[in-house]
Amino acid sequence: MSYNTFGRLFRFTTWGESHGPALGATVDGVPPMLDLTEADIQVFLDKRKPGQNKYTTQRREPDAVKILSGVFEGKTTGTPVQLMIENTDQRSKDYGDIAKTFRPGHADYTYMAKYGIRDYRGGGRSSARETAARVAAGAVARKVLGDGVTIRAAMVQMGRSKIDYDRFDWDEVNNNPFFCPDAEMAAQWANELEAIRKAGSSIGAVIEVVAEGVPAGWGAPIYSKLDADLATALMSINAAKAVEIGAGFEAACLTGEENADEMVPGKDGKPEFLSNKAGGILGGISTGQPIVARFAVKPTSSILTPRKSVNLDGEATDVMTKGRHDPCVGIRAVPIAEAMMAVVLADHMMLHRAQCG
């Protein structure tokens, strides 16, 4: 977690800007002898790909990944895996008018304040296109984890409309354009988001990501806690403003009796938990229960309604963003969340093996 690198042992560095020639991820520390093809990665990139329906940006990118290194005859070699995605639909002209203006809610001003320079084309490095590289790295992480660990995410809230957890059905997630696990709510969101889209507005969302099959013992105390690593992983996603594990903020409202997940003797001599308020993590270490995290993403700041701002010369101006944008960026955050869960777990699987054999 330094600069543009995530992870300790399973580590990847992403690079590239929205409107540069390409972007990618340099994935290092990958165990050898894993089967890995471009198709294994492409399937996850396709879930995140823009332009798939009217609710996501109409930028059309094939997002075709190329493996440039680290794989030989279909297997990882233990050396760095370079994953490159070429940018093909850049339309720099769309963004020319924002070169000298700081868009509210965007990173325009802060990049300028930090670096004294910014690649304003499509947001440059701060664009959510960077997340394509995360998704690619996440696909490699899944290979490291193997089939025993299942990672799935879903959008569980859009604006104030939350799903009904009694209707939660993972199979439903791929039946609608929202990755919504509640068919009824998906229908409602379709109406709500269409109205928002037509108004040139945008809306926030909450995504839940769950990992099943993680054995007890992954993670580490104090400053490498599994939940703390998930927190940084999810908060690093563009537009994320909040993260919670298990009961999350609701834990503040609980008594000790309500919060403590009781245990009874289970199979194989391992304890069986009667609830999962902990979200699968105690003391920073996995309990063997499903690991459950949620995070909130703010509405995209690119909207048609003019907002007050200032320009490079410090003068007042109004900003209205035309361009091509997602009315709810939460939708495309779903495959990104899965990727970030995967990379955190792969890193901790390797850390655990290193220390505890």
Residues within window 159-178 making contact with a second copy, judged by CB under 8 A: 159-160
Considering only 229, 291, 332, 337, the residue that binds a second copy (CB under 8 A) is 229
Centre a 10 Å sphere on the Cβ of residue 188 and count the other Cβ atoms it contains.
14
Residue ranges of alpha helices (H) inside 104-171 are 108-115, 130-145
- Give φ, ψ of 344 to 5 degrees: -65, -45
Considering only 206, 336, 339, 342, the residue that binds a second copy (CB under 8 A) is 206
32 binds a second copy (CB under 8 A): yes
Q: How far is the CB of 61 from a second copy (least distance, A)?
A: 16
335 binds a second copy (CB under 8 A): no
> Which residue, 50 or 246, has its beta carbon nearer to a second copy?
246
Q: How far is the CB of 63 from a second copy (least distance, A)?
A: 16
Centre a 10 Å sphere on the Cβ of residue 315 and count the other Cβ atoms it contains.
10
227 binds a second copy (CB under 8 A): yes
> Which residue, 171 or 264, has its beta carbon nearer to a second copy?
264
Two structure tokens written together for 78? 């233990």
Note the Cα 251 to chain centre separation in Å. Answer: 24
**136-167: buried (b, 16+ CB within 10 Å) or exposed (e) per residue?**
bbbbbbbbbbeeebebbbbbbbbbeeebeeee
324 binds a second copy (CB under 8 A): no
DSSP conformational letter for 168: -
Stated as kind and residue range, the H or E segment containing 47 is helix 38-48
Two structure tokens written together for 59? 């930028």
How far is Cα 284 from Cα 224, in angstroms, rounded to an integer?
7
How far is Cα 332 from Cα 278, in angstroms, rounded to an integer?
27
Note the Cα 311 to chain centre separation in Å. Answer: 31
303 binds a second copy (CB under 8 A): yes
Note the Cα 287 to chain centre separation in Å. Answer: 23
> Which residue, 298 or 324, has its beta carbon nearer to a second copy?
298
147 binds a second copy (CB under 8 A): no
Interaction with a second copy in 234-253: which residues (CB under 8 A)? 234-236, 240-253
> Which residue, 39 or 252, has its beta carbon nearer to a second copy?
252
- The stretch among 19-27, 166-174, 175-183, 331-339 that binds a second copy (CB under 8 A) is 19-27
Considering only 92, 110, 174, 175, the residue that binds a second copy (CB under 8 A) is 110
181 binds a second copy (CB under 8 A): no
286 binds a second copy (CB under 8 A): yes
> Which residue, 281 or 342, has its beta carbon nearer to a second copy?
281
Note the Cα 209 to chain centre separation in Å. Answer: 9
How far is Cα 1 from Cα 158, in angstroms, rounded to an integer?
30
Q: How far is the CB of 60 from a second copy (least distance, A)?
A: 21
183 binds a second copy (CB under 8 A): no
323 binds a second copy (CB under 8 A): no
Vertex 325, ends 191 and 197: CA angle to 5°?
Answer: 20
Q: How far is the CB of 153 from a second copy (least distance, A)?
A: 15
